Amino acid sequence: MKMQDLAGKIAVITGASSGIGAATVKLLVDEGVHVIMVARRAERLAALAQRFGDKVTVMQADVTDQAEVKALFAAIGERFGGLDLLFNNAGLGVSAKFEQSTAADWKSMIDVNIHGVLNCTQAAIPLLRGRAGAMICSVSSVGGRYGVENWSVYSATKYAVIGFHDALRKELGPDRIRVTVIEPGAVWTEFGENVSEALQNRREQLDALKSEDVAQALVYAFAQPANVLIEEILMRPVLQVAP
């Protein structure tokens, strides 16, 4: 099967300043994609962008702020004329037993993991329409398929991402916009707040995925022929036999 030549395509990656986002920037740049790196941490973005020169564009934005997101994609449309890939990678997780969790943490996770995806996706759709092989891909989680102890609200947000994409896929299919979800298990990233030492040890015991592993899954899905949809990629370390 002949894969797409990705050279010259335009991609937006949210949460691009570290972890899976940063790893995906590198792989896409290696494929000849011009990557628009989006995150809140401008200094981190600028430092990472120095490695790639004019192969990337840095745009600071908070995905939870709808006005900022609309302005971001309007600027992308004016400068690039369209978009081939939106990778909704920005995410937030706070570990806590639900009984001890706080409404402030619920709101933070819902704002980033749900509203952030909705904001970026809605703003990106007009730029994706009419582009051969255009794709929206978002990061959910194994926790979006199986409830995980001490991650109840996070799991709820990731279930929402999967449900949203299942419906969106049906809406955008006639426009030939592909809609994909990647659901990683344990990954070595800086992701997560209040992460216990036990969880860190569990990642080590499981020989957890690296950010590059998830990035490679994104490139695999994106590089499929334009008429081929990779609907979901559920991936985890081979030793992770339970969520």
Inform me whether the pLDDT recorded for 193 exceeds 60: no
Which of the residues 146, 154, 159, 220 is marked catalytic? 154
Identify the residue whose tokens are 């010259």: 8
CATH of the domain at 36: 3.40.50.720
Is 4 contained in some domain? no
Taking only the tens place, the pLDDT of each residue in 74-101 is 999 999 999 999 999 999 999 899 999 9
Span of 26-35, 93-102, 123-132, 200-209 with lowest mean pLDDT = 200-209
Does residue 19 sit within a domain? yes
Tell me, yes or no, whether 126 lies in a domain: yes
Mean pLDDT for the chain overall:
93
Global pTM reads 0.94
On the question of pLDDT at 240 being above 70, the answer is: yes
Question: Do the domain assignments include residue 185?
Answer: yes
Name the domain count of the chain. 1
DSSP state string for the chain: -PPPP-TT-EEEEESTTSHHHHHHHHHHHHTT-EEEEEES-HHHHHHHHTTTGGGEEEEE--TT-HHHHHHHHHHHHHHHS--SEEEE-----B---GGG--HHHHHHHHIIIIIHHHHHHHHHHHHHTT-TT-EEEEE--GGGTS--TT-HHHHHHHHHHHHHHHHHHHHHGGGT-EEEEEEE-SEESS--BS--HHHHHHHHHHTPEEHHHHHHHHHHHHTS-TT----EEEE--TT----
Mean pLDDT (whole number) for 163-168: 98
In the chain, pLDDT over 70 holds for what percent of residues? 95
Task: Tell me, yes or no, if 154 is annotated catalytic.
Answer: yes
Task: For residue 227, give its domain range.
Answer: 10-234
In this model, does residue 234 exceed pLDDT 50?
A: yes
pLDDT category of residue 1 using cuts at 50, 70 and 90: low
pLDDT band at 191 (very low <50, low <70, confident <90, very high): low
Of the ranges 51-65, 105-119, 200-214, which one carries the lowest mean pLDDT score? 200-214
Residue 39 lies in a domain: yes
Q: What is the DSSP string of 183-204?
A: EE-SEESS--BS--HHHHHHHH
Residue 239 lies in a domain: no
Residue with tokens 């559920």: 234
